[in-house]
Structure 1
């Protein structure tokens, strides 16, 4: 009887079921498709933080892209078709105002670092006098921003791009967005 009870007890327990891997495979496939679609959207310019500007519109800094004007194709900041002009030619010719060299101390006194910064502002010719009149305010906002930086902020990968965007935004807030088109960094040295 002991054998019969052992067999009867074994028959009551169903064998363990092997789980289906179909939901796992479907989830993995959807994750890959979503990641690929997100990469394509960012790379093609459909999202604002992608690497390429959307074709046929206005680029990151207000400069019209080459696909927006079939006759004027920009190449490296110079017009290819030979009709004059240069970088960022939205409203005509551009003029550049050179900023004086700024030197800012970074970090604590024990590990003193200095940042040497030189740049130029790209403005429309009709706006030049107005921007030059605001130069003390522009220099003040740049000095204040640069002195608030830590050495790690400057040494990080891609720091110059981020810092340039921050400084341009501050300058545009002081001078007016329509007056300053771009900030061109000519010297950025940490020693």
Structure 2
């Protein structure tokens, strides 16, 4: 009977691997102390360095920014389209008008000659689209932005060999 009690006491103190339980608990503490703690310290140091800006690239100086802007402005050319006066679509008997002055941003001066040949097609596309607009479509900055994006898409579709970078409003009057 004493042998059975001693065997059970030994079994209770040993795990499946045959190691005492105290030793297994100690190995968990060693794992935390020698592996996880250094990883946390390294991660915290790297995070602190990132937050402090150690890894940031230096900001460009004012001269570099000005040189880059001057380089971009050299290439840009603007072409003014004729002003347009369009009767807007209305469900009531009162009529609304849109007066629109547009300037096109082109990549270089060589595109102007090609664009001038396509002006009738561009104006026709603009007129057809603008006549279908309602006064409510042009309310707020969101309406003007949608108009700008739609005109840019239409002009790039109708002036296929010429690439228009942007449509700029010189005048936009809704009455």
Hey, what does 1:20 align to over in structure 2?
Answer: none
Give the number of the structure with larger relative contact order, counting CA–CA contacts within 8 Å between residues 6 or more apart.
2
Structure 1 residue 130, shift from structure 2 partner: 0.5
Hey, what does 2:127 align to over in structure 1?
Answer: 143
Hey, what does 1:117 align to over in structure 2?
Answer: 100
Match of 2:67 among 63, 77, 81: 81
Hey, what does 1:95 align to over in structure 2?
Answer: 77
Residues 7-156 of structure 1 aligned to structure 2 (within 5 Å) = 72-73=64-65, 80-81=66-67, 84-85=70-71, 87=73, 93-106=75-88, 107-108=90-91, 110-123=93-106, 124-156=108-140
CA–CA distance in structure 2, aligned partners of residues 111 and 93 of structure 1? 45
Q: Name stretches of at least 5 consecutive residues in structure 2 with no aligned partner.
A: 1-58
Distance 1:157 1:94, change over 3 A: closer
RMSD: 2.7
TM-score (norm 1): 0.53
Runs (4+) of structure 1 moved beyond 4 Å? none
Distance 1:94 1:115, change over 3 A: same
Q: Is the 8 A contact 1:131 1:179 kept in 2?
A: no
In the alignment, is residue 180 of structure 1 matched against residue 157 of structure 2?
A: no
How many pairs were matched up? 114
Bigger proportion of residues as helix: 2
Q: Name stretches of at least 5 consecutive residues in structure 1 with no aligned partner.
A: 1-66, 74-79
